[in-house]
Every structure is written in C-alpha cells, then in structure tokens.
A and B are shown apart, each in its own frame.
Chain A
Amino acid sequence: MSEKNLRASGNGNRQNRWLFPVLFAAVIALLMFLFNLVSGGAFLEMSNLRVILSHIVYPSFIAWGFCFLFACGYTDMSIGGVIVLGSFASCILGNKLGIPGVVIGGLVVGMLLIFINFLIFTYTKIPSWIAGISLAMIYEAIAVFLKMGSRTKALVTASLEKPYRVLGQLPWSLVFLAVGLVVIYFLYNRTTIGLNIRALGGNKDVAEKLGISINKTLLAVGLITGVLIGIACFLQQSYAGQTTVKTGLTSINMIFQPLAIYLLAQIIQKRINIVICVPICAFILYAVFNILTVLGVPSGTLQEAFLGLFIVIFGVIGQRKVKGVVK
C-alpha cells in the first residue's frame, strides 16, 4: 500500500505542483500591498522598487555560490575576504582599464581565490570551516597590506570612478541577474556536474562508488563558486562604488545577508527550486529591510532581529506538510 500511495502522492503532487508557487506569489503580493499601506504608498513607488531591485543582485550571486558550496557539504568562511580583495581588484583595474577592467579584476581574483580555497579543502583534508577562517584572516591581511601605502583618506576604502559603475546600476544589474538565473538553473539542475555535486553532498560514499570523482567534483565546485563570487565582486564594487578594508574577521559579516537569503531559499526549496528561490528570497529580504527603514526602525541589531523572526516564520510555513515532494 505504501508504494502505491507513494506513487499516488507523486501524481497528486504533480497536479498540485503549481499550487504552492501560486500561493507563495499571492503571499508576496499581499506583503507588498501591506508594506505599501503601512509606508503610506512609499514602498511601491518606482524609485523605491528600483533601489530594492538594484540591491538584490550581488547578494543573489553570493547566495547562488552558497547553493553549490553547501550542496557538496562544504563551508567557506573566507568568502567575505575574497569579496573585499576581488572588489579592490575590480576597483584598481576598473579605474585603469574602464569597464573591462572592472569585470576582469573581480572575476579573476574571485575565481582564483575560491579555487585556491577548494584546492586546500580538497587536498589538505582540513575541515573547510577551519581552513576558511584561516584563509579569511590571510585575505583580510592582504587587503590591509595593499592599502598600507595609500594616503589617509584612502586607507580603508577603494573607490571606483563613477563612469565605471554602470554594471551595478539598473538595467545592467538586472540583465546580469536574469542571465545568471537561467545559466545557474541549468547548471545546478540539468547538467552532469550539477547532479554530481548534489550527489556528493547527498551521499559521498555512494557518489564515489558510482564512479563520480570526488576531487574533480570538488574542484568544479570551487570553479563554479569562484565565478559566482567573482561576478558578485565586480557587481558589488559597481553598485556600492567603494569597498572598505575589513580586519579581525569582520569580513565574515559581509556574507551574513547572502547567507540569510540562502537559508530562506533552502526552507522553500522543497516547494520551489532553490536557484529560483534565491532572487525571490533576496527581494523579500531587502523589501523587509526597506520597509523597516521606511518605518524608522534603526538599522543594525533591531532590523536583524526582525529579519531572524521573519526567517523563522517562513521556515514554519515552508516546512508544513512537506512529504513526497516533486521537483
């Protein structure tokens, strides 16, 4: 009976597979309406929506990076440090070579450092979170070292000249988001390497016995995550225009919000594919921050407390009656 019903529940889920996304969309629409109501119409103003949309792009790329990273069962605490260095490179090369320099700087440094991290994780067998913290300290130190010779004002920040910030602004940032969504969706769900990465995280022993090369797959994760973090580096620099040197492991703070996006997406992933969840959750998250700011809630601890509460509520809703899910 159980097997028949598994099958039955599978068919049932197939019929209802659009129910949750539709309900989810309705809840988001309702939230937006409520936000607009409490903000006296300010929330849905085009200028405000533009602010939110342009803000979600680079954290989404970092969160997509987490999808691959966590799918294979690894943690990398140095990503914040990599973003600082990648953004610096983007800034330095951008100011010299223009927009191609912005892209090359972030991409090359992001890819290279994350790939180096994975070489270390794979071949030294040091637990990734321990190695990641050590690497974060090294990357922070390198960033400080790079800024040592600068004048006082530039001691802690690297600023990209205004004409070269176009990639972080609308509409270009949204183009990156849309293309990224399509490419990453296929990479994660519809390619052999994507399936192998998920197999590795699901059951390493089985994956290995089925001929999946663990080391090659891990290095592929390093490469893919590196590209995504590299893109995030130059998008971050293009969006914010400047990057501040971090010390004392404060670079880890930089990944907190993308991590929250990932966690939120992970909660809903049993209903909606995680790659699609990421930008949606990024939008929800920044909408919450936005409305809290509009309402005058002080940024920092209090806003983060609201964010934590919000994630818990979503978690409870997302996990209800999850059984026999079809993806």
Chain B
Amino acid sequence: MAENILEIRGLNKHFGPTHANKNVDFTVKKGEIHGLIGENGSGKSTLLSQIAGLYRRDSGEMFVDGVPYDPANPIDANRHGISMVMQELGVVGNLPAGVNVFLGRTGQFSRFGIVNMRKMRREAQAQFEKWDLDVPPLNQMTDGMMIESRKMIELARALSVDPQLLLLDEVTQSLSLNNRRKLYELIRKFKDMGRSVIVITHDIEEMVEITDTITVLRDGAVIGSVNSQETSPDEIRMMMVGREISGDYYRADMTPTYGENVVLEVSDLTVPHELEEVSFTVHEGEILGFCGLSDSGIHAVGRAVYGLSKPTRGRVFLKANGVELTSPTTALNNNVGYVPKDRDNEALMIRASIRDNFCLPSLTELKGPVGYLRPGKLKKLAADMVDSLSVKCTGIAQTMDALSGGNKQKVNFGRWLAKDLKLLILDCPTRGVDVGVKAYIYSLMNEAKAKGIATILISDELTEVLGMADRLLVMKDGRVTRTISRGEDFTEQTVIGVMI
C-alpha cells in the first residue's frame, strides 16, 4: 500500500510560448492537507487542472496510490477518486441545483433512458447533509442564486464522487465566515477519514492554519515545500515573490480620517428578503466597511446602492450631487463606481478586449461631438491604465479571458479610477488575487481615499475591513446591528461576536 495518494515527477506543461509548469515534483501523502501557494500566474491552477484531468500534461509522470495515472478527462479523474472545485468553473444556470450536482453523471439515475429526477434530488440532498452543508433549493435554477450558493453546489458536486483526493482551487474566497468554517470542518473530517486535500488560497494565514504542508510555486516551478507548523506567513511570502515582503499592507493608523462632507446618505433602505431598514452615511475620503455572515445581506447593500435592486422603502441619496440613485445608469452618470464580487459574470466583458473593458465606464467622458468615440482616445486611456496598473498582458487588444485572476481584478478595479469618482463601491475587491496584487489594490484604495473619494468596502475577509475601514458596519439578517469606528474596539473578536 503506497504512503502517498499522489506523486508527480518532472511534470511540464506549455501553453504556446508560456511554460506554465516547469519540471514539477510534487507529493501528497494520505491523510494530508496540502497547500499550494504562489503569485497569480505561478502555475498553481494549471497543476491542479492536470491532476483533475482538465489538461493533459506535456511530459512527466503522475501516480495515484502508486499506480501510473493519466486522466483523459475530469470524469476519468473522478473514477480514480480525484475531484476538484475549480476557481472559475461555475454552474449551469439554466439547470436546477440538483441536476448541477450530478451533471455529466446523470446517467447513474436513469432507467430505460429516463432520469429519475426525484432520486437525483434526494441523492444531492444527501450529499449536502452528509458533509453538513446548507441544502440549497435543489429544484431551483442556479442562475438566480448568489455566488456563494453556487460555489457550495460545486463543492457538493466534487464531494458526490466520494473522492480520496479533493482539490480546492480558491474556494474560500467565495465564502463568508460561516461557510468557510464549515469548509474547514469538512477538510478536517477528510483528514480524519485518511483522505487528502490540496488547497489553493491566497490567504496565507488561512493556509498556514488549515494545512499540514505548503508547497510554493513561482513562475511555474516548485520553490519548495514547508511544514505548516514550522513556517510563518512572512517566510511563505518571501518564497512566493523571491524577496522580503512586509505583511503590513493595511493601514497603520488607528483613528478614523475622513472629511466632514457627507457624500452618500442611505436611509431606511429595505429590499424584500435582503435588507431591512438599513441607514448609513459615507463621508468624503471615508472607507466604510461592511461585514457579516453569508446571510447577513452585506452584498445586497452594494447592489442596492448602485441601483441594481428595487427597494420597497427608503432612499439612496448621493448628497454630493443632490441626486437619488435609482438605477445603475443614474449611478454611473453621477460618478459612482461599482466593483462586484463575481468579476467574471457581473463585472467584466470576459470575451472583449482589455481596451473595451477599461473604456466602458468612461464612455461619457470619452465621447466627442455627436457621440463619436475617437479610437485614439480609447487606445490612450487603456494603454495608460495598463501601464499605471502594471497589467500583465500582450497588449490592450488581448481579450480578458486570457488574463490571470489578479490581472483581471486590476482591470476590474482600475477602470473606475479613470473616472472622476465621488463614490466607489467595492464588493470583495481582493477575491482570488495574490499577496502582491492585494497590496497594490489596498494602495489604490488609499490613493482614492486621499483624493476624497468615498468608498464602501464590502468584504468576507474580516482582516481586510478591519485593516482598511474608517468605520465598520456589522450586519446580521439584513440589518445593521452595530457600527464600530476605527480605534474603538476594532478587533476580530468583537466583530465576530456581533456577527454571530
């Protein structure tokens, strides 16, 4: 019986001229929680994708339980006891949640060609219950569900093959605190069962906490593996980027600093099933943080302020311009920017060019007489933004889907900075980005603050809101339960206590 569930020797993978994985040696023991970390574009997802059967390797060897392994596709990988929750996979929106759990394997519920939908739903429910996950409405189409629910469906799908090795590619970034805790519990359960997990996350502290071993990748090659108990986040950061990086990329000051002028005034905002009488103000140069559990309604605040949902009561008043925000058009025309949580589906035009994505929010400013858009102007704006944000790309004509997660997020965030903003709404702005891009995004937030832009920062990461916000609104069941100012009881323990 082999000691290792997975052994990889000398694995190489190329995408055109890009050498995505260079001679990778990688081993996962049975019952081990193994972390995989590296900057965006370091080849982590490529490595997992080859293990999961999504890509074929160019050269090298893989062994599962000591037996040579070369999965033809994800279903083949499932047959070998390996399943994966992918970073950007998603679910099929026009099919019910229950079907999504078994998509590609619905044949197991069919008799004489007819799929027994009830049996499939029952089995899907059993999967959620077996792993102590909240059961979503299984006969409901997934296109109306929140990103977190969709991620949990993907998790249930991966678990439904009863894997010996579970691959989690940046799953926690989509989850709020309570579901993250459930996932940690699930990972521990896996370990107790003698099964293994490979986890990719950009949250170094989280990785050190939940894993046994951490392997660091840089530019497609393995830099080294360390025992999680014997390392520190700083050591991991240094291995990742090849130089020393301080973990203090958050604000150092502990007093709220913002102007007196109120930019946004939200009063008694009520959106059925999402928000209940939410009231707050945001000042010039203020970063107002929102945090809460998955059902708290924090993400609904961003949508409602930007005019994406229809409140039944209350109003969103942009005091700076004397305008009530009732629709995204009004918001956009009044210098309000919004960076949604789900960047691929809600923010970016993924198959359009970098240029088009950068220019879209600024078309009003860019258009000339009779609405004519001069190509030179568009090109300049995009090129300037690519330079100033250091977006790694082949040029502004490159399509967004070819960029790594971190570079996509630079475009997603940075394109708003080309506008003369009054208010910026950020919903999980550092989701799925590495430590370098994260630090860069925080510096952009600080720049925006210095310019007097009011920012609403919604985040599932407590450290992020605690690190950046001037004031923090804790939400529960769609209501604001407490407002805490920077410096005044501004600790994780206090906030978690209020959240729960």
Contact = CB atoms under 8 A, between A and B. Distances in A.
Contacts of B145: 6
Interface in A162-201: 186, 189-192, 195-196, 198-199, 201
Interface in B91-119: 91-96, 99, 103-107, 110, 113-115, 117
Interface in B468-485: 477-478
B349 interface: no
Interface residues of B, number: 47
A211 B92 contact: no
A2 B297 contact: yes
Contacts of A4: 295
16 contacts: A1-B295, A1-B297, A3-B294, A11-B137, A186-B114, A190-B117, A192-B110, A192-B115, A195-B99, A195-B103, A196-B104, A202-B92, A203-B91, A203-B93, A207-B104, A326-B140
Nearest to B152: A3
A303 interface: no
A38 to B, nearest CB: 39
B95 A198 contact: yes
A209 interface: yes
Contacts of B117: 189-190
A30 interface: no
A324 B94 CA distance: 12
Given A1-B274, A202-B95, A324-B144, A209 B89 contact: yes
Interface in A1-43: 1-11, 13-14
Contact of A325 (B78, B110, B140, B296): B140
B249 to A, nearest CB: 31
Interface of A: 1-11, 13-14, 186, 189-192, 195-196, 198-199, 201-203, 205-207, 209-212, 323-327
B92 A3 contact: no
Contact of A3 (B94, B114, B295): B295
A1 B93 contact: no
B101 to A, nearest CB: 11
Most chain A CB inside 10 Å of its own CB: which residue of B75, B94, B149: B94
Contacts of A14: 139
Interface in B68-86: 73-76, 78, 86
Contact of A198 (B75, B92, B149): B92
B80 to A, nearest CB: 13
A191 B110 contact: yes
Contact of B295 (A2, A189, A196, A326): A2
A192 B141 contact: no
Contacts of B89: 205-206, 209
Most chain B CB inside 10 Å of its own CB: which residue of A189, A211, A327: A211
Contact of B115 (A8, A195, A325): A195
B103 A199 contact: yes
B115 to A, nearest CB: 5
A2 B146 contact: yes
Contacts of A324: 137, 140, 144
Given A195-B99, A327-B141, A202 B75 contact: no
B146 A211 contact: no
Nearest to A326: B139
Interface string B119-156: 00000000000000010110111001110110000000
Contact of A1 (B74, B110, B296): B296
A325 B115 CA distance: 21
B104 A212 contact: yes
A209 B141 contact: no
Contact of B300 (A2, A192, A196, A201): A2
Most chain B CB inside 10 Å of its own CB: which residue of A4, A11, A195, A196: A195
B103 A210 contact: yes
B54 interface: yes
Given A8-B273, A211-B73, 20 more contacts: A1-B296, A1-B478, A3-B136, A3-B294, A6-B136, A6-B144, A6-B273, A7-B136, A198-B95, A201-B94, A202-B95, A206-B90, A206-B103, A207-B92, A209-B54, A209-B74, A209-B89, A210-B74, A211-B78, A211-B104
Contacts of B110: 191-192
Interface in B247-279: 273-274
Contact of B106 (A2, A3, A192, A323): A192
Contacts of B78: 211
A137 B104 CA distance: 38
